[in-house]
Structure 1
Amino acid sequence: MGRSRTSIENPSLIYDFKEITKMRLAISVVFSSLAGYLLGVDVVNMKTLILLALGGYFMVGASNAFNQIIEKDLDAKMDRTKNRPIPAGRMSVTTAFIIATLFTIAGVAILYTINKQTAMFGAISIFLYTCVYTPLKTITPLAVFVGAIPGAIPFMLGWVAATNDFGIEPGTLFALQFFWQFPHFWAIGWFLFEDYKKGGFFMLPTGKQDKGTAVQVMMYTIWTILVSILPAFGFTGKLHLSIPAVIVVFALGLGMLYYAIQLFNKMTEKAAKQLMLVSVSYITLVQIVYVADKFLS
């Protein structure tokens, strides 16, 4: 993992900007927000869609930049992160802080132009990620529970942006992405266990690559599947799933559960990496199915 990063001899300013804001992660978060918006809206407003994408990107970029400022000394110890702009010495803490602050102001201001609730949830997300999740990572595996809250906000945020209302529908979207994050993060924590240990991070629920962690991975995968099919049963207000869509969503969930069981059986870093990759595909495909079902059924 770390080798490809460190082999970059002279990363450009653009590369460093992408790294400090974690552009790929930010884009996936924006995708979640846009999916939530499309689920909640009656008539798509392109201006709101663009504002949500921009506000969401700034929000995630700010959180990531603050995170890298706080963890700069720990990042320097890990192969995965030692070539990030701050620990590698290519960007000063001051520059990163200016980027993070400007992104925070821009993100919250843009989301505020959509509606106040969207801005409020955006601000809560930045605060929890930066001020609670990041410091807890070196103290307790419970940090993952805290981190799952800002991580689950984007899908819900889209619905709130569309409706200016927080109810059962965005609550369901939040719950789906909340439970999904545990198998996703614990899979990462498993296959990067030794690297995380160098930085003093203990991300696994038992603190070890053991059966206890693997059981929890399976349990949270099952919770994710159960939440994902709720909209088919009429409990979730305006959030519906047709029978064909719920079959597809359930099948995707069983696919992810298969890899969670494989991790339990094999207990290897390779199995954990496979689960991580499958989990990323899972959440993206489920969101696509939800949106497609709304507009096609």
Structure 2
Amino acid sequence: MSENTSISFMKKLRIENTKQMLMINGNDKANPLLLFLHGGPGTSQIGFIRSYQKELEQHFTVVNWDQRGSGLSYTQQIPQSSMTISQIIKDTIQVTEWLLDYFSKTKVYLAGHSWGSLLALHVLQERPDLFHAYYGISQVTNTQLEEKTAYDSLRKTNRFLSVALGLLGPPPWNKKIQHFIFRVCIELSRGGFTHHRRHILTVLYQLLAGNEYGIKNISRFIRGQRFSAKYLTDDLFRFDAFNSVSSIKVPSFFISGRHDLIVPAETSKQYYQFVDAPEKRWHYFKNSAHTPHIEEPSLFANTLSKHAVYHL
């Protein structure tokens, strides 16, 4: 690919009272745009994702965005009152409109991972006209249902962790320490962020040694994650897709990892079967936990590109 057709740059975008960071990469600027909404709240991925999206960049111009209060978009000057789901939905729409104007496009593809999939459902309710199609990765539906499903699954399948979980007791839990203990159990069961531990090590290495964040910005990543979680976690736990989003007006494709116990595939598939959309498909990644786009990047790129080509 010649240099004048490829694209790779970072962009600070002014959104109301904040500057927010975009990273834009692709092999051919003529390719369709894919806006990726990261998980969390606050788990920005600019610092490590390039290692996993090389094949994706052959098909799309991929836009990663550190959301308000996350990663390189975090500063101590961000008003706490602006850390709401409604504001981040507005931010998402503004980012999308800027991309359409900058690249002279009429629509983009939208991918949302975990927390980002919650945001995406809201954005698609407000402005479906901006998007070709939607990819829901580890689709959040109802956090309390997801925790109960994962708790029951772990108690049945993991004898060692079943003892600890029995002492913890079933959800719902009111204390942060209870959620933390449960999350540790999920990670120990290899049903957490990744199923294969080597991917965690690679992500950490990229965060520390990569050009995007590096050691000088790792503290912003950590502080942004804590800051976002503090103000947005309640929104996450109140969300119920079954009650609030019964239909999506664009073709929608759902991707879940077989080993995922943060957002069990069982609950995401229930929503896939429930929601009404012009077209919908279900994809089950057998070697992944919560981050199939990291654990199986080739399959992920092929899955997205197949549907993108079909709908262009």
TM-score in terms of structure 1 length: 0.30
Could you state the TM-score of these two structures normalised by the residue count of structure 2? 0.29
Report the structure, 1 or 2, having the larger helix content.
1
Q: Report which structure shows greater RCO (CA 8 Å, sep ≥6).
A: 2
